[in-house]
Amino acid sequence: MTPAELAEVVLSAAHAVFTERGLDPAALPERTAVERPRNPEHGDYASTLALQLSKKVGVPPRELAAALADQLGRAPGVKSVEIAGPGFLNIRLDAAAAGQLARSIVEAGAEYGRSDALAGQKINLEFVSANPTGPVHIGGVRWAAVGDALSRLLRATGADVGTEYYFNDAGSQIDRFARSLLAAAKGEPAPEDGYGGAYIAEIAEQVRAVRPDVLELDDAAAQEVFRVEGVALMFAEIKSSLRAFGVEFDTYFNEKDLHDRGELDLALERLREQGHLFEAGGATWLRTTDFGDDKDRVLRKSNGEWTYFAADCAYYLDKRERGFERVVIMLGADHHGYIGRMKAMAACFGDDPDRNLEILIGQLVNLVREGAPVRMSKRAGTVVTLEDLVDAIGVDASRYALARYSSDSPIDIDVELWTRATRDNPVYYVQYVAARTASVGRNAAEVGLTRGDAAGFRAELLGHEKENELLKALAEFPAVVATAAELRGPHRVARYLEELAGAYHRFYDNCRILPRGDEEVTDLHRARLWLNDATRVVIANGLHLLGVTAPERM
């Protein structure tokens, strides 16, 4: 029995109690939840339904809890119900009801853990969006891992998600990039405000290979060639790096398109219609202070040039016009100041900033080797890049390490720890269970042990303490996924998987799955194989949500 199924049993019992007592069933919630008690001695699951309903129906909570306990105690699969404190219900399942979960998980396969908790929500999720003036640095890599995992979680809970990468391919930083490429091609030092690093020289050489005549042009024309070709090459490299990291986007959106299609003018007119624009000093301003911003923002300068914020406004409006009800943007640690102006901008468009716009801020990441931070990439010159991280610890460890912590916490990634084939390496600890469960399956086949058909599964045999512990851990997965999606916290899945791995190891050490020697295969062996295979399903499903592989061998 899954927690969701038990919750339905609890509601059904409450309905019966209300009917018997002549209480209004309309007071019952459509859904309720059961939770695992922190102390296993308090039962398998706990419900607070009696406490929730007591005031509504005017019945003392312990009296209502007693009636619910009596009704629940008659339900199939419920072994016992105890009342604790002011009206908590502590519920224990019989072994057969608890064990049936193993079969349910195996039969559900990749669908186990998925739900419709966020069905009907159309979400645009923008992440990474690094400027196309250099390789993706380690801060952007964190968003690649977390953002991709979050998109998987949102989809697993029923949301309609569009992932997006915004290329800032217009503006002064692109001009500096083009000038840096031109200088490198001429063998000159980078401009004072330009970009350094070996990658600039590499891209300059690639542009010259495409356009051998580029240095024969005057500087203005040559710079334009380097701008167009250099940005295209940098785009291609960024996309290739992310693809190798397992991250693909539904949409790659170019800022330049907003300018070319006149969308900045459209946004300006929409804001003017809303009555939030004003002119001052020859410039066009947005009165964001009306909605809590610390100062009003310039959209168009007195010389006619657009500001970056104007493009932000146009881009937000474009997303909303494409039908996305909620716009989620992931930004780096140095972007806290953007929250107020972006929320105010959404309000200026007539949106509800709390419902239509969500901004997540990620904190800094350091790559540490031998206790000291790795300060820079040989290629990029100033930062640690995606390739540096992957070269140091691999794709799986990188993705797991970056997704394992709440994104609002700074993290150090210790190269020695994350490459160690020991249990203190979290990704190894979890992946080892994936490999071990697969190995058990192979070894079972060699000795003629199979699960058998579902009808012959004897769930009641899974009565060992460690079997029960593992079953309860497996039962938590759907709730973990739903909570992680709702709270935008993929780290919750990683921490859950580590707890599950611990429960499996304890089960494996205490409950022999395979028969010894000439020992006859029994229904207990088969039941435990169901439990082993259910664990592999959940480990694989959880790792998939993080974009990490579930190996069959290690």
CA 142 to chain centre: 11
How distant, in Å, are the alpha carbons of 405, 462, 513, 534 from that of 447? 42, 21, 12, 20
What average pLDDT does this structure show over 220-236? 92
Band of residue 401 on the pLDDT scale cut at 50, 70, 90: very high
- Whose tokens are 């959880």? That residue is 542
**433 within 8 A of 535, measured Cβ to Cβ:** yes
- Within 10 angstroms of residue 75's Cβ, the number of other Cβ atoms is 18
Residue 354 one-letter amino acid = D
Phi, psi of 160 (to 5 degrees): -95, 110
Band of residue 191 on the pLDDT scale cut at 50, 70, 90: confident
Give tens-digit pLDDT for 483-529.
999 999 999 999 999 999 999 999 999 999 999 988 999 999 999 99
What average pLDDT does this structure show over 246-269? 95
Residue 307 one-letter amino acid = T
Which residues are paired to 168 by β-bridges?
Answer: none
**CATH superfamily of domain region 3-93:** Arginyl tRNA synthetase N-terminal domain (3.30.1360.70)
Please provide the average confidence, as pLDDT, over all residues in the chain.
93
Euclidean distance between CA atoms 43 and 90, whole angstroms: 5
Burial grade of 358 (CB within 10 A; 0-12, 13-18, 19 or more): middle
Which residues are paired to 89 by β-bridges?
Answer: 47, 83
Q: What is the CA radius of gyration of the chain?
A: 29
Euclidean distance between CA atoms 435 and 466, whole angstroms: 20
The DSSP H or E segment spanning 431 is helix 426-446
Three-state helix/strand/coil letters over 260-299: HCCHHHHHHHHHHHCCCEEEECCEEEECHHHHCCCCCEEE
What average pLDDT does this structure show over 124-132? 91
Phi, psi of 313 (to 5 degrees): -65, -45
**71 within 8 A of 47, measured Cβ to Cβ:** no
- Within 10 angstroms of residue 209's Cβ, the number of other Cβ atoms is 10
Euclidean distance between CA atoms 379 and 244, whole angstroms: 18
- Within 10 angstroms of residue 33's Cβ, the number of other Cβ atoms is 16
What average pLDDT does this structure show over 372-399? 83
171: left (phi over 0), alpha (psi -120 to 50) or beta: left
Which residues are paired to 413 by β-bridges?
Answer: 367
- Within 10 angstroms of residue 126's Cβ, the number of other Cβ atoms is 22
Give tens-digit pLDDT for 229-250.
999 999 999 999 999 999 999 9
- Within 10 angstroms of residue 290's Cβ, the number of other Cβ atoms is 13
Where do runs of H (alpha helix) occur along 366-425?
Answer: 386-393, 395-403, 415-418
Same topology between domain 3-93 and domain 422-546: no
Query: Range with the lowest mean pLDDT among 32-41, 404-413, 531-540?
Result: 32-41
Q: For the chain, what percent of residues have pLDDT higher than 70?
A: 99
Question: In 3D, which of 171, 339, 345 has the Cα closest to residue 270?
Answer: 345
Query: What per-residue confidence (pLDDT) applies to 380?
Result: 60
For the domain with range 422-546, which CATH number is right: 3.40.50.1000, 1.10.730.10, 1.10.3720.10, 3.30.2320.30?
1.10.730.10
Query: What per-residue confidence (pLDDT) applies to 448?
Result: 92
- Kind of pairing between the strands at 122-126 and 283-286: unpaired
Residue 27 above 70 pLDDT?
yes
304: left (phi over 0), alpha (psi -120 to 50) or beta: left
Residue 2 above 80 pLDDT?
no
Residue 3 above 90 pLDDT?
no
Query: What per-residue confidence (pLDDT) applies to 370?
Result: 87
Residue ranges per structural domain of the chain: 3-93, 127-258+363-419, 422-546
The DSSP H or E segment spanning 331 is strand 326-331
In sequence order, which residues have a C-beta less than 8 Å from that of residue 384 and are 6 or more positions away?
A: 137, 138, 367, 374, 375, 376, 377
Euclidean distance between CA atoms 294 and 210, whole angstroms: 48
Burial grade of 521 (CB within 10 A; 0-12, 13-18, 19 or more): middle
Output the CA torsion 230→235→236→242 (10° steps). Answer: 150
Phi, psi of 22 (to 5 degrees): 70, 25
Query: What per-residue confidence (pLDDT) applies to 326?
Result: 98
Query: What per-residue confidence (pLDDT) applies to 105?
Result: 96
CATH class label, 127-258+363-419: alpha beta
Question: For residues 76 and 507, which has the higher predicted lDDT (pLDDT)?
Answer: 507
Query: What per-residue confidence (pLDDT) applies to 377?
Result: 63
In sequence order, which residues have a C-beta less than 8 Å from that of residue 509 and are 6 or more positions away?
A: 466
What average pLDDT does this structure show over 374-389? 76
Euclidean distance between CA atoms 544 and 112, whole angstroms: 12
Give tens-digit pLDDT for 148-180.
999 999 999 999 999 999 988 877 888 889 999
